[in-house]
Structure 1
Amino acid sequence: MSTARENDTSVRLRVPRDWKRWSNAFIMQAQAHDVWEYIDPESIRPWPTKPKEPDLSTFPKRLTPRTTRASSSVRATITVGSHEPDEPIDQEGIPQSINEMTAIGRTNYKIEWDIYLARDKRYQLARSGFLGLIKYLQATVDPSLLEVYCDAKDNLRIWYKNLMAFGSEQTKTELMRLRENYKAATKPLTKIKNLGVWIETWDMAVSKARNGGVEDAKKTLKAGFLT
């Protein structure tokens, strides 16, 4: 069952300055669906693909009494923990079901079938998460951006990288603005008309610069020590 947070579509991506908040919300959605490891642009995890069922034709067919040509058969020996006799194999036939396989063929088929079921379960869980995120994108990203950056032939990892490129220019611009505000707020003053207002402005500029990634601001002390 989805939580209220998983269904929250209040954070929208319309313009580049929306990117940071929207990206954080999207990552939380992806983590809630347990698929962020596939979407993360830095991840080396391969994109999941639907597993294939075991191929019946790759397993030995049991020789039936109706098959009489000696040249068409060999004998399969079961040696692993078994006391069953050698079993003739129909070299020219292909089993149409597990019942037509030799005993060892049935054993190997069941092993591969169990592996297939486990892989398919993981795939279906991931697919369900992807579908949930696609719905989230459709509900929160401006349709014009979806048309430009989210080609239907691509997967969510590529969509996210494309949208990240859309937001990167604003990120650079925002960083420059924060750096300029930080420099202006921390410039030495010879006279302060209103110390309280100056301290509040100083604290806000430094805090925003820190949160925005301005390196110099991370080394700056809080202005509260002046009061």
Structure 2
Amino acid sequence: MASEPRQVILASSDDWDEWIQVIKTVAEAKDIWEYVDPNREALLEMTEPQEPDPSKIKTNATSIADLDELGREIYQYQWRKYERDQEFHNSKVRAVQDLKSFIQQTVSQDNLHYTYNGNAHDILVALKKRFAPTTRYRELEIIRKWKAHPRSLRQSNIDNWLTTWDLLYDKGKALNIPDFQDNRPMTDFMLAVKSLIPGFYSHWFGRLQDDLTCIGFHDLVQKFREWRQAEISDSHNQHDISFVTLKGRSPEGKQPNQPGSRSSNQLREPRTCICGIQHHFSKCPYIIESIRPNGWSPDPKIDEKWKNLIQSNWMIRKAVKKARQYIEQKASNSESPKEAFQSLNQDSSYGVYPDITFATTKASYSTWDSPYPLRDSFILDSASNIHICNVQDRFKDF
């Protein structure tokens, strides 16, 4: 079953481009656009098929009775073809008449008087003269909408907002507007989404700096859609993490809000690393080899992800380099790289985070091997349904 054409009402010049495209789609479906195209100044006439003439089969023949057996077969073939051609012609005539009715249904009441006289072609020519914007007007209007669009997110949902980016870009490219050439549209889009997803901006801005042709505009918008969807999914799957304290003190022995210590509100919380642990780059053994525990070996898949990210993102490269330099500097002033790692917890630029952390939503687990005094203690947490201890003999049932 054929779908109904989208109902677009022609009320002003702003509606013309979309409205005439709908009219064209309807006309092409009936194979009549060439007969109604308003860009044709002269109407293309529909030629009605002619009945077969016996005299063209046999000289001086006036009827089929004057033809021999072969001539009558030729005449009958031509007559069947004529009937088919006539039906096709009549269907086109009806389609043009139906199109005129459809045009009247999709023009606003104030503009209906433009459709009173003439056939469908005459009506479209009249409407084009009245509503089709000039090229210069189109250019100015597209530029105006493009510049205003980043601020329009407050009035529309983000999916519609992204779709409009694609639409305006296509229109600007079709008109060869300078603002839509080279990488300027991608720069405008990146600046518009910077505050929405900073990670997306950092990643793709860096790649575009290295290679302006690495991605097209529509692909960039689609990447943003996918990145945003992934972040939404991640936020739904994340669990709240709380840190265990002993008598109101952290593993370092400081109370959370005592003078000289930094509360969680004062710290910049690290994001979940590629390795799956929430920590800063300077604490990740995948990129800081000197802090790897004895017997530790990297997961090949995670290791490959790190290598690809460092290679493709200049901001990540810079952050990793800074973390490595920090560890090297600490190591030069410490007995071992392990001490340098432990001293990170006292450095204000990296924040204070306990070496032993416990998740109270589902499980309690140790995230690092550390000389923390309570390392061999088995701390029970009533809010956790799973407990982990590094001494098997202490388990009564497991």
Residue type at the aligned position of 2:4:
R
Shift of 1:118: 3.0
Q: TM-score, normalised by structure 1?
A: 0.57
Q: Which runs of 5+ in 2 are unaligned?
A: 155-161, 195-398
- Distance, in Å, in 2 between the alignment partners of 1:158 and 1:221 is 39
RMSD across aligned C-alpha pairs, in angstroms? 4.1
Q: Could you tell me how far apart the structure 2 residues matched to 1:141 and 1:209 are?
A: 27
Per residue, is there more strand in 1 or in 2? Answer: 1
Measure, in 1, the Cα distance between the counterparts of 2:50 and 2:190.
66
- Structure 1 unaligned spans of 5+: 61-75, 77-90, 186-195
Q: Relative contact order (C-alpha < 8 Å, sep 6+): which is higher?
A: 1
TM-score w.r.t. structure 2 length?
0.36
Distance in 2 of aligned mates of 1:119 and 1:207: 42
Contact 2:13 2:132 in 1 (8 A): yes
Residues in 2 aligned to 1:126 and 1:135: alpha-carbon distance in whole angstroms: 14
Contact 1:59 1:101 survives alignment (8 Å): no
Could you tell me which residue of structure 2 aligns to residue 133 of structure 1?
99
Q: Retained in 2: the 8 A contact 1:179–1:214?
A: no
Per the alignment, residue 50 of structure 1 pairs with 48
Q: Flag the 1:18–1:111 CA change in 2: closer, same or farther, 3 A.
A: same
One-letter code of the match for 1:51?
P
CA drift at 1:52? 2.6
Q: Does 1:164 align with 2:164?
A: no
CA contact (8 A) 1:35 1:130 kept: yes
Instruction: Note closer, same or farther for the CA distance 1:150–1:57 as it changes in structure 2 (3 Å cut).
Output: farther
Q: State, as a whole percentage, how many aligned pairs show the same letter.
A: 20
**How many residue pairs get matched?**
176
**How many angstroms does 1:215 deviate by?**
0.8
Give the aligned residue type for 1:50.
Answer: E
Map 1:21-100 onto structure 2 (within 5 A). Answer: 21-41=18-38, 46-55=44-53, 94-95=62-63, 98=64, 100=65
Measured against aligned partners, the alpha-carbon deviations of 1:5-28 in whole angstroms (never above 9, x if no partner) come to 24x5x3112333221221122112
Task: Give the direction of change, closer, same or farther, for the CA distance of 1:205–1:171 in structure 2 (3 Å limit).
Answer: farther
Letter in 2 for 1:121: E
Of 146, 168, 179, the residue aligned with 1:208 is 168
- Tell me, in whole angstroms, the C-alpha distance in 1 between the residues paired with 2:99 and 2:166: 35
Partner amino acid, structure 1, of 2:49: P
Match of 2:67 among 95, 98, 102: 102
Contact residue 17 and residue 170 of structure 1 kept, 8 A: no
